[in-house]
Amino acid sequence: MVKNLTKVGLGIVTSVGGFLEVGSIGTGLQAGATYRFSLLWAIVVGTICVAFLTEMTGRLAAVSKHTVVDAVRGRFGFPFHAWPFGAQVIVDLFVLASELGGAALAWQLATGISIRVWILPITFGIWLLLWYGTFDSIEQSVALLGLVTLSFAVAAWRLHPDWSDVARGLLPQRPQTDPTQHAYLAVAILGASISPSLVTFYSSGAVEEKWTPKDLLPNRIVAWIGMGFGSTVAMAVVIVAALVLAPRGIHADSYQQAAALLSVPLGRWGFTLFCASLFIGCVGAALELALDLSYIVAQTFGWDWGENKRPIEEARFALTYTIALALVMVPSLLGIDPLKLTMFSMAITVLALPLVVGPLMVVMNDKQYLKAHTNGFVTNAAVIAIVVVAFVLAMLALPLQWLGA
């Protein structure tokens, strides 16, 4: 029982990558500041989809001993797999760059020293954690430190929102102003929630932890509790922004505008907690994304892989995250605004979703891999419907937003 309870850590660290990082904080701040509670439904939809996806990939790993990448490559062959693989590498690199920028920005906000100064030591620190750490040590430490982000939930509660207004935001509604921006933010929120890295990272972690069919029930608990944890904080960010920023006419076009967000409900500790939450969430997500890049590259090309092995034993695995971290420092060194990079990264994530989720759905209905544990009708219908809606919304909203319509 105790062993099963420790598996909740994987769900929580995965939810850090999905909700409690630069993407969810940035999109949540803009959504709440501009449209108050009316985009909460996007977080709910994203949570439902990502909980289904993580449960599916954990089930795949427990029953077949395959990761998502292994299974898709084996089921469809390398030429087909090259497309979702290429799309995910691009998305992971963009999002990783956003996370590193967000972590550096947290220190800039706290100290007044430029992101360009902080980006190198932060990236080196993340590399050291990956080089010397194990999967379990990273998982548990990030899950524990990530609890600081509950400060957003505490702040939302202390602001005493009108819960009937909050509840109305859980259902989609037509915006009264600027529907294109409204749709664009919905796409960004979905992209921040349903990242392809979540499914590949989660399945790789389950294989590293040697899950078996006995872990199917804990897997369901892990998926829904972990994603529920992240979703709660993500919705709290929107609520706090709606109650603190919106009445003051602050649209949160930059993190600097929103840095004092928690100072209203939490007093002098609010600013410190905002910076700590941003930093810890971004570092947790960066660790996940760097590992995910190594996982998917190694699994695609048939290399040995594993964070629990020494780098000298898995040199190509370690080399992959080393190169990736060096590359993604460039946007911050060039002075690209982390929030703008974040919004772009979240948007292209949605466009890449069908390439990753489509083949996965075929595998999850293949008895050769899942035996008696294939997907049911509800799981198939829910995931396909959400991904299709998100993709169509992105295809409609993104061109208009980027063209300035």
Residue-level pLDDT at 10: 53
Count of all residues that appear for the chain in the document? 405
Q: What type of residue sits at position 169?
A: G
Taking the CA atoms of 297, 299, 301 and 307 in sequence, report the sign of the dihedral they define. positive
Q: Which domains does the chain have, with CATH numbers?
A: 2-402 (1.20.1740.10)
Taking the CA atoms of 103, 198, 237 and 257 in sequence, report the sign of the dihedral they define. positive
Q: Where are the alpha helices (DSSP H) in 148-269?
A: 151-158, 163-168, 179-193, 196-208, 216-244, 255-258, 263-266
Share of the chain above pLDDT 90, in %: 44
Q: Where are the alpha helices (DSSP H) in 77-194?
A: 78-111, 115-132, 135-145, 151-158, 163-168, 179-193
Nearest CA to 282 among 18, 29, 99, 109?
A: 99
Share of the chain above pLDDT 70, in %: 93
Residue-level pLDDT at 398: 66
DSSP per-residue string spanning 77-103 = -HHHHHHHHHHHHHHHHHHHHHHHHHH
Q: pLDDT per position in the chain (405 positions), as tens?
A: 445 555 555 555 555 544 567 778 888 898 999 999 999 999 998 888 888 988 999 999 999 999 999 999 999 999 999 999 999 999 999 999 999 999 999 999 999 999 999 999 999 999 999 998 887 777 777 777 777 888 898 999 999 999 999 999 998 888 777 788 888 888 888 888 888 888 898 898 888 888 889 888 888 887 887 788 778 888 999 999 999 999 988 887 777 878 888 998 998 899 999 999 889 888 988 998 999 999 999 999 998 888 878 888 888 999 999 999 999 999 999 988 888 888 888 878 888 888 888 899 999 999 999 989 999 899 889 888 888 877 887 776 667 556 544
Residue-level pLDDT at 46: 87
Q: Which residues contact 264 (CB under 8 A, 6 or more apart)?
A: 155, 159, 244, 270
Distance CA 221, CA 269 (A): 33
pLDDT in tens, 198-228: 889 889 888 888 888 988 888 888 788 778 8
The reply to whether the predicted model has a pTM over 0.75 is yes
pLDDT in tens, 243-278: 999 998 888 777 787 888 899 899 889 999 999 988
DSSP per-residue string spanning 275-337 = HHHHHHHHHHHHHHHHHHHHHHHHHHHT----TTS-TTTSHHHHHHHHHHHHHHTHHHHTT--
Q: What count of other Cβ atoms lies within 10 Å of the Cβ of residue 72?
A: 24
Q: Which two tokens stand for residue 387?
A: 């991904």
